[in-house]
Amino acid sequence: MRSLGPRMEVAVAMSILGVGAAVVAAMHLTWPEPELPAMAYAVSGGEVSDLKPFEINDVSGGAVELTPGSEGFRLVRLSNPNSVDIVVLTLQAVPGQPMDEAHNRVPDCPADVLTVVPMPEPVVIPPAGSVEVEMVVQIAHDLPAACRDLVFPLTYSGRAARG
């Protein structure tokens, strides 16, 4: 094998490093930021909680059909994996960008035509138990035509504390 010489070897090494740095920067810029966990516990007085996150499962079954100005309900099961009571203080859901039957995003339909009313009051979940709550889903009165027959993904999140 033929030697490139010290200067050429440095130039090749710098080129390789430059390409690697560009790829890392591009991945960093295009990858989504790490998401916070959907479930979290409030920390009071600087103490670290030893509680495991509660589970949130939409158990409604199929999609809820909504017409302009109407409301529907999603049944959500909250489960406590801990050996002590917990109180779920808040539960909310944020609609994502709507998708058509082929799971393509529909930019002409804004996600904010759908709202989910936050859970109205805290609920206590017994150790290793679960509770089901209804979340009210509302659709805007002035619904754009592009929003018909679409699916709105929902992202649930909540906060809980020791019971």
Rounded Cα distance, 152 and 140, in Å: 13
Per-residue pLDDT reduced to its tens digit, 31-73? 333 343 344 443 334 444 678 899 999 888 777 777 888 888 8
SS3 content of the chain, % helix, strand, coil (to 5): 20, 35, 50
Per-position DSSP letters for 97-111, written without gaps between them? --B-TTS-B-TTS-G
Identify which has the larger pLDDT, 83 or 7: 83
Answer yes or no: do 26 and 44 share one domain.
no
Answer yes or no: do 60 and 27 share one domain.
no
Answer yes or no: do 13 and 81 share one domain.
no
Answer yes or no: do 121 and 43 share one domain.
yes
Domain range for residue 98?
A: 39-162
CATH of the domain at 105: 2.60.40
Beta strands at 86-95 and 154-162: parallel, antiparallel or unpaired: antiparallel
Answer yes or no: do 141 and 71 share one domain.
yes
Rounded Cα distance, 66 and 63, in Å: 9
Answer yes or no: do 70 and 91 share one domain.
yes
Question: What is the reported pTM?
Answer: 0.67
